[in-house]
Structure 1
């Protein structure tokens, strides 16, 4: 984080300073670090206490001051201000965090690429980052820092050395992407697809499209948009935006498209990428045909920024997936694990099942699937669709975890899968115990569920079994 003068900070958050600074000139005071976690506060830092359903960060303001914080934001005036410290009163600390991040972003003139979509946001962000790093110093979203708290904290990591930023944007309600766009002020925007994730809160896929389209609200008027041209809803945005659009996909009517896609097992995928009169061969070191979409938009953005073909191809070749996103490992017992347990939707479930069924490696194919959350009234149908889809994949065993995932199991049986090979559990320990009696050396096991199912607990146990 670069230094911010305290007067500029107060103005950005629309705050009022209550201080005990012994007449120190406010113009001479700067902040070079901030945190929303009092445990990470150091000397001279700014502490921003957030308020949640089960906690109130204001309770930790005294601790933050004791640990060396020079200033704290606060919605409350009943906080004792120690000598030499300052309290900045704001209407809402979370809004102040976002306002400060928006101001801080405006201090940099580098291009910002924003990435959203129902499925594949993180892998797309990672692919774009891998390509851009071949020629630029890149700031990229880490982990799941893609919401109204995570995006501001990511923005504060911008420094003078960065030449470009890739910011992931997630949401589960209307207005969230709008707020994130205001913070990041993107020069380029990517929407990977429109699926059913968070449909419980957004009502329909059309509602999800509307929410995702908020990414354009604070976009640079000279910017460019990159959309999945194989997505029926994203196609409807053609000629409706004030920005030029680059459509990417598998269909040859897209501005940039893929052909000759070749699955190479655990080595990944090869594909030819075509645009205008150009064609290149790329090698993607990751599983799943869906990863070609991520590579397509990474190529398109690299070309837009004037990168060399060699750098773009090298960036794709060096791609590394984030944790619990199609990660391949081998257990002590000799099994192969596909850990895709970070999150799940009907679309990503089917894509993961495609990967499992198409791999040549693995003696037997076993799917371990958990609940897909936030699907509302569509949940039962969505889980059943996955079950029927799975039944056609000739898998050897199916294990499910959770009340909703029972519908996957039943639909798989109804779809023709041997009921003796299907097991449904509500308890993860019971699932592990049964799974451990079934798996054998060289079996290929897929783990996938929504984040709230914590299916990685079983993955970790299986990895240690000898």
Structure 2
């Protein structure tokens, strides 16, 4: 990590560097990376132990040195240290300070991906496009919070030419802190949905919280906005340049969007006066929107239409996010990583395109605030409109989905359960060849167990 010597790290963290006998020359040596997981330590890395509810990372400092760490942070003085360490008041704060200082040393463009829904899939699409020309560093998984983002910044190495980082928040002020660390040159905003209403109260509150990032962008920065989102179309970008993408509005648009079964989507994309046809190997109009955002980023970084089309045509899903799992002639749509009203309806739309019987296994959506029951109730309409055959719901809030279907005399065969195990007892025996099964809920519902049970039963 450029200029991030142990001396420099001690300075930016306001810490004290301790050098055991024989390590005096280490003070001027740069670290090669920084991690808070001792299992990810590599040669000349900085280990950042953190105190959690169950585990104290300080217990793994000695092991980190054995695995090749150059140094460690610590919130307490160490007796007989086996390598250099920097004493700091708070290792979590120190991580942010290190990432902030390191970001100032970087000259590559940093792209921040922000929004209520679709951040991870949009990040993956942008990365797929940019990788046709550049060596790209991207956020792994959803490492998008005040620990994950600085760890991602610390993973940027000399060979990387661009970084794509996901930035997620749940309350006011968080985006200021993330923006100060990442200082993105380009920001992509996917939408203003109904996530984190428990803290941000309204979509206007969500807009206000997410646009805090604009204050941390350079004067020549660019904001790429979803032009089909009623909140983003009028967003104040504080004088920053902005462009829009969308199915209905924007400099980057898609027409002739056509689903090809459940695995692909064809579209014609027009970007700044140039038009090309593409087959995206993912289902749903929401993935076309992701492709438009990636197209806009690609053009801004000088990619040709041919390079962009190649990147879009090789886009992939990741586990838990609209990932199609084929077992003989049965399809599982693994979308159980997280859920909110917008993404839930989008996944149901994808399920509705299936040729055979359709089964939706749905659980509670979290952090929706005072309207949480009404927002669950609305999901029933999406199920009815997409002619879903069977609906299995689990959780207190998801009972509202079942009520909605019952009150409208829906043709959906709806069943509700309080316990996941009871639902699986009824679901697994009815599955037959040709079925398509959507599994979706917020992460805390542990619906990955449903996916694993299905895979085990069908194997």
TM over 0.5: yes
Q: What are the within-5 Å matches in structure 2 for residues 101-112 of structure 1?
A: 101-112=99-110
Counterpart CA distance in 2 for 1:210 and 1:21 is 52
Task: Name structure 2 gaps, 5 residues minimum.
Answer: none
Structure 1 residue aligned with 2:8: 8
Q: CA offset at residue 98 of structure 1?
A: 0.9
Secondary structure of 1:167's counterpart equals strand
- Structure 1 residues 242 and 21, CA, compared in 2 at 3 Å: closer, same or farther? farther
1:289-345 CA-to-partner distances (Å, cap 9, x unmatched) read: 11111111111111111111110000000000111211112225x311111111100
Does structure 2 retain, via aligned residues, the 8 Å contact 1:331–1:464? Answer: no
- Structure 1 residues 196 and 10, CA, compared in 2 at 3 Å: closer, same or farther? same
Does structure 2 retain, via aligned residues, the 8 Å contact 1:391–1:415? Answer: no
Q: CA offset at residue 81 of structure 1?
A: 4.0
| Aligned mate of 1:266, from 234, 256, 262 | 262
Q: What are the within-5 Å matches in structure 2 for residues 212-223 of structure 1?
A: 212-223=210-221
Secondary structure of 1:320's counterpart equals coil
Q: What are the within-5 Å matches in structure 2 for residues 6-405 of structure 1?
A: 6-22=6-22, 24-25=24-25, 27-41=27-41, 44-65=44-65, 69-77=69-77, 79-82=78-81, 85-238=83-236, 240-251=237-248, 253-332=249-328, 334-359=329-354, 361=355, 363-405=356-398
Secondary structure of 1:416's counterpart equals coil
Residue 447 (structure 2) pairs with residue 455 (structure 1): yes
Does 124-133 or 57-66 show the bigger shift?
57-66
Counterpart CA distance in 1 for 2:47 and 2:263 is 46
If the length of structure 1 is used for normalisation, what is the TM-score?
A: 0.93
Secondary structure of 2:386's counterpart equals coil
- Structure 1 residues 33 and 416, CA, compared in 2 at 3 Å: closer, same or farther? same
Does structure 2 retain, via aligned residues, the 8 Å contact 1:331–1:462? Answer: no
Counterpart CA distance in 2 for 1:135 and 1:45 is 29
Does structure 1 retain, via aligned residues, the 8 Å contact 2:392–2:414? Answer: yes
Aligned length: 458
Structure 1 residue aligned with 2:417: 425
Secondary structure of 1:324's counterpart equals coil
1:132-180 CA-to-partner distances (Å, cap 9, x unmatched) read: 0111111111112111111122112211111111111111122222222
Q: CA offset at residue 27 of structure 1?
A: 4.5
Counterpart CA distance in 1 for 2:429 and 2:305 is 50
Structure 1 residue aligned with 2:437: 445
- Structure 1 residues 275 and 72, CA, compared in 2 at 3 Å: closer, same or farther? closer
Q: CA offset at residue 247 of structure 1?
A: 0.8
Does structure 2 retain, via aligned residues, the 8 Å contact 1:392–1:415? Answer: no
1:87-112 CA-to-partner distances (Å, cap 9, x unmatched) read: 31222211110110111222220111
- Structure 1 residues 462 and 30, CA, compared in 2 at 3 Å: closer, same or farther? same
Counterpart CA distance in 2 for 1:398 and 1:422 is 5
Counterpart CA distance in 1 for 2:340 and 2:39 is 35
1:258-291 CA-to-partner distances (Å, cap 9, x unmatched) read: 1111111134111112244332212111011111
Q: CA offset at residue 70 of structure 1?
A: 4.3
Counterpart CA distance in 2 for 1:294 and 1:62 is 44
Task: Name structure 1 gaps, 5 residues minimum.
Answer: none
Secondary structure of 2:184's counterpart equals coil
Does structure 2 retain, via aligned residues, the 8 Å contact 1:261–1:269? Answer: yes
Counterpart CA distance in 2 for 1:243 and 1:303 is 18
Counterpart CA distance in 2 for 1:7 and 1:109 is 22
Q: CA offset at residue 123 of structure 1?
A: 0.7
Counterpart CA distance in 1 for 2:144 and 2:397 is 26
Q: CA offset at residue 254 of structure 1?
A: 1.7
